[in-house]
Amino acid sequence: MSKKERLPAEEKLKIVEAYLNGSMGKSMIQSEYGTAWSTLRDWVRLYETRGIEGLMSYSRSRKYMPETKLTAVREYLDGKGSLSDICKKFDISTSSMLRGWVKWYNGHKDFKRTKGGGEIYMAKGRNTTLEERIEIVSCCLANNKDYGKIIERYAVSYQQVYGWVKKYEDSGADGLIDRRGKNKDEASMTEVEKLRAELKLKEAENLRLRMENDLLKKLEEIERGRRRS
């Protein structure tokens, strides 16, 4: 845990007030407390919008309506304000939270599919073949782990998709083999079949990584452009 997270609200308040009254600059605060400028900026904004409550640990777990998330993300991407501006306008706890929403939105995910802190609505599971699981995991990876889309497209449960993706990440294609009861014959998959499955899954995973890198570059370009303006 970082130093900034261990600080009690009273200590954060002292730092914020020192910054606001000019007795300490951001460089001095970073040197003395190890507090990054982005964190200090969040503290100042939270204090100005919520008072001392904004500096409490539980304040960051505030829940937001899907409509608020969507509007905030669209305004940010439309250039209507910096991360800090949008956070202040919609009283968003941290800029990293808004960044997460932007990433979620750019992954073609629907905020209305989530409950509270982002848990995807549950759907009933069903029996699947090995070929189906390979196809489902490949599709999930290629779509930047958009579990909501996969649940709807393949009529499986969140627990199933999440479990299959994790098994693949831990054990490769072998992790998708069901060795229980009557399905244990799946374990007889030939080496050629395993290689084909691994290739398909790896291509999907590489596509997801390229999408993530492209998104990060896009966000960095947006921020650089706003700092210059």
Distance CA 111, CA 146 (A): 11
pLDDT at 94: 81
Q: Which residues have CB under 8 Å from 193's CB, separation 6+?
A: none
Query: Per residue in 122-152, pLDDT tens?
Result: 456 788 888 888 889 988 888 877 777 787 7
Q: Is the pLDDT of residue 25 over 60?
A: yes
pLDDT over threshold 60, residue 113? no
Better-predicted residue by pLDDT, 175 or 184: 175
Degrees (nearest 5) of the Cα angle 77, 82, 87? 95
How sure is the predictor about 120, in pLDDT bands with cuts at 50, 70 and 90? very low
Chain segment 26-35, per-residue pLDDT in tens: 889 888 888 8
Q: Alpha-carbon distance 51 to 9, whole Å?
A: 11
Taken in order 106, 108, 109, 112, is the CA torsion positive or negative?
A: positive
Place of tokens 């802190």: 117
Distance from C-alpha of 152 to C-alpha of 137, rounded to nearest angstrom: 14
Contact 172, 198 (CB under 8 A): yes
pLDDT at 4 over 50: no
> Residue 24: pLDDT above 60?
yes
Q: Helices (H) and strands (E) in the chain — how many of each?
A: 11, 2
Q: What are phi and psi of 104, to 5 degrees?
A: -60, -45
Q: Which residues contact 173 (CB under 8 A, 6 or more apart)?
A: 134, 194, 197, 198, 201
Residue linked to tokens 């990433």: 103
Mean per-residue pLDDT of the chain: 76
3-state secondary structure of 181: helix
Report the chain's terminal Cα–Cα distance, integer Å.
36
Asked if 117 and 63 count as a contact pair (C-beta separation under 8 A), the reply is yes
User: Do residues 123 and 158 lie in contact, with contact meaning Cβ atoms separated by under 8 Å?
Assistant: yes
Residue 147 is predicted with a pLDDT of 74
pLDDT reading at 118 higher than 50: no
Tell whether the model's pLDDT for residue 172 goes beyond 70.
yes
The whole-number pLDDT of residue 171 equals 84
Residue-wise pLDDT tens digits, 85-107: 888 888 888 888 888 888 877 66
Residue 115 pLDDT: 44
DSSP state of 122: P
Question: Could you give the percent of the chain with pLDDT greater than 70?
Answer: 74
- pTM exceeds 0.85, yes or no: no
pLDDT for 38 beyond 60: yes
* E strand segments, 25-134: 114-115, 119-120
Residue-range domain boundaries for the chain: 3-61, 66-120, 130-216
At residue 2 the predicted structure's pLDDT band, cuts being 50, 70 and 90, is very low
Q: What's the number of CA atoms in the CB half-sphere (13 Å) around residue 199? A: 6
Pick the more confident residue, 171 or 218: 171
